[in-house]
Amino acid sequence: MLGRLTTSLAPRLSPRLGACRAFSAGTDLFNPTEEHVQLRDMLRSFVEAEVEPQATEYNRAEKFNMPLFKKLGDLGLLGITVPEEYGGSGMDAVAAVIAHEELSSSDPAFCLSYLAHSMLFVNNLAQNGNEAQLQKYLPDVCSGACIGGMGMSEPGVGTDVLSMKTTAAKSADGSHYVLNGAKMWITNGAVSDTELGDRFLIYARTEGETGSPSGVSLFLVEKGFEGFKLGQKIMDKCGMRASMTAELVFEDVVVPAENLVGGEGGAVMCMMRNLEIERLVLAAMSLGIARRSLLVMSEYAQERVAFGHPLAHFGQMQRHISESYAEYMAGRSYVYNVAANLKLDSAGNRVDSDGVKLFCGDMGKRVADRAMQVLGGNGYVGEYNVERLWRDAKLLEIGGGTNESHHKNITRDLGKNPEQLRRL
């Protein structure tokens, strides 16, 4: 199962990223099995050797590092939750969380592209597609030969996703659908200034009234389909600059009927199932940002001297460091507990998949902000990386569901099921 994941271990990490430690398999919430231990060790080595050296350069250039991304395929990471018979590594939600925490501790933007590919396309298809679709599409996206993404938001539709305007009209003979509309804010929508990503799962309305869940269907759309075009590539983002964001445009795009994923009008369940793992790994990205920020501020506070003492001598700095550690560990425990109990083929876990993202999204930004404060002027420039982490962290309060949508979802679901609170 983990053969490819452990074939190439880079040297141990430098103190700035944190040294690998000997994990105790079977007794650790964060590394419950030996395979999880090996996965984390491999990722920490890969992050130091491959991800960290390129992070600042690609973020400043607003470029996607395609060669590095394809190396994730060589390591078995692009299909981390996909069964081995389709080219994946057959691992679980905990493994997905480990991958996102470790990658985002160095380069959250690169990790965001990984998330859009491995979770929003690959895992989504693996859980919802039929056998023919899995055999046709999964091997190439698991290897990295093709780059995938998912289209749900639209230029005028964000959180209110069921108000989507993109339509898919079925042909008279039933052989195909004709897609018209646009999708916005699509990670991996572009891989360069002019080139689309390769494979997409696109949500579109096939029947029913706008706002009704019964009218939403899911389609596999490929680069090269006539009428499928790259709209605007979104530039000058606050953060996540090395992850490409774009608009996708559909003008009478003919999509074969066999590219319908699940039943017609049944895509909301696919959407809800995949949103749960998406929000869980977005929370894991916040963990990576917080852990790196905490490490930087703690080391800096020990090294930097002011008024004859290290900064760590002063109560104001102690508060920043200690509260950041406690909040990070609280969030980390919550995330890994939810991951341990999440079945990838299930739905109905929204309270806690929203809960971990709501808590950790805010926590990661707050810890990065404290790191900037501890470093002062040095935190405000790029050398120590925390200003980049701080900018990247903000997206995690917006993307994959805004904080406000999580407030609504959690309150609504607890109101429908008060027994959930009584059982705590």
- 285-312 confidence digits (pLDDT tens): 999 999 999 999 999 999 999 999 999 9
Instruction: For residues 420 and 139, give the distance between their C-alpha atoms in angstroms, rounded to a whole number.
Output: 40
Closest CA to 291 of 110, 109, 103, 26: 103
How far lies 180's CA from each of 164, 174, 210, 224, in Å?
11, 17, 15, 16
Instruction: For residues 159 and 277, give the distance between their C-alpha atoms in angstroms, rounded to a whole number.
Output: 17
pLDDT value of residue 161: 81
Closest CA to 300 of 351, 370, 232, 244: 370
In this predicted structure, the answer to whether residue 115 has a pLDDT above a threshold of 80 is: yes
- Are the beta carbons of 251 and 183 closer than 8 angstroms? no
Closest CA to 101 of 273, 272, 294: 294
Instruction: For residues 15 and 300, give the distance between their C-alpha atoms in angstroms, rounded to a whole number.
Output: 12
Please give the single-letter amino acid code of residue 195.
Answer: E
In this predicted structure, the answer to whether residue 18 has a pLDDT above a threshold of 70 is: no
CA dihedral 387, 390, 392, 393 (to 10 degrees): 170
**What's the average model confidence in pLDDT over 136-158?**
94
Q: Do the strands 167-170 and 260-261 form a parallel or antiparallel pair, or are they unpaired?
A: unpaired
In this predicted structure, the answer to whether residue 3 has a pLDDT above a threshold of 50 is: no
Instruction: For residues 63 and 235, give the distance between their C-alpha atoms in angstroms, rounded to a whole number.
Output: 10
Q: What secondary structure letter does DSSP report for 213?
A: G
Closest CA to 80 of 21, 29, 31, 143: 143
In this predicted structure, the answer to whether residue 126 has a pLDDT above a threshold of 50 is: yes
In this predicted structure, the answer to whether residue 209 has a pLDDT above a threshold of 90 is: no
pLDDT value of residue 345: 87
State the pTM of this model.
0.92
| Phi and psi based region of residue 306 (left: phi greater than 0; alpha: psi -120 to 50; beta: remaining) | beta
12-18 contacts: CB < 8 A, separation 24 or more? 12/45, 12/48, 13/44, 13/45, 13/47, 13/48, 14/48, 15/299, 16/295, 16/296, 16/299, 17/44, 17/47, 17/48, 17/52, 17/105, 17/106, 17/292, 17/295, 18/44, 18/105, 18/291, 18/295
**Candidate list 102, 278, 327, 387, residue with the active-site label:** 278
How far lies 296's CA from each of 189, 282, 372, 389, in Å?
33, 22, 9, 11
Instruction: For residues 84 and 87, give the distance between their C-alpha atoms in angstroms, rounded to a whole number.
Output: 5
Residue-wise pLDDT for 35-48, tens only, equals 999 999 999 999 99
Q: What secondary structure letter does DSSP report for 191?
A: S
Q: Provide the 3-class DSSP secondary structure of residue 35.
A: helix
13 confidence band (pLDDT: 50, 70, 90): very low
The residue whose two tokens read 């002027």 is 377
| Domains defined along the chain, listed by start | 4-143 (1.10.540.10), 148-265 (2.40.110.10), 268-422 (1.20.140.10)
Instruction: For residues 339 and 18, give the distance between their C-alpha atoms in angstroms, rounded to a whole number.
Output: 24
23 confidence band (pLDDT: 50, 70, 90): very low
Instruction: For residues 234 and 82, give the distance between their C-alpha atoms in angstroms, rounded to a whole number.
Output: 30
Q: Is 278 part of the annotated catalytic residue set? A: yes
Closest CA to 121 of 80, 165, 169, 164: 80
Instruction: For residues 105 and 288, give the distance between their C-alpha atoms in angstroms, rounded to a whole number.
Output: 4
pLDDT value of residue 157: 84
210 confidence band (pLDDT: 50, 70, 90): low
- Are the beta carbons of 401 and 338 closer than 8 angstroms? no
**What's the average model confidence in pLDDT over 65-93?**
96
pLDDT value of residue 346: 83
Exposed/middle/buried for residue 227 (C-beta within 10 Å: 0-12, 13-18, 19+): middle
Instruction: For residues 43 and 336, give the distance between their C-alpha atoms in angstroms, rounded to a whole number.
Output: 17
pLDDT value of residue 26: 47
The better pLDDT of the pair 284, 210 is held by 284
In this predicted structure, the answer to whether residue 122 has a pLDDT above a threshold of 50 is: yes
pLDDT value of residue 250: 98
Closest CA to 137 of 189, 201, 74: 201
Residue-wise pLDDT for 229-270, tens only, equals 999 999 999 999 999 999 999 999 999 999 999 989 989 888
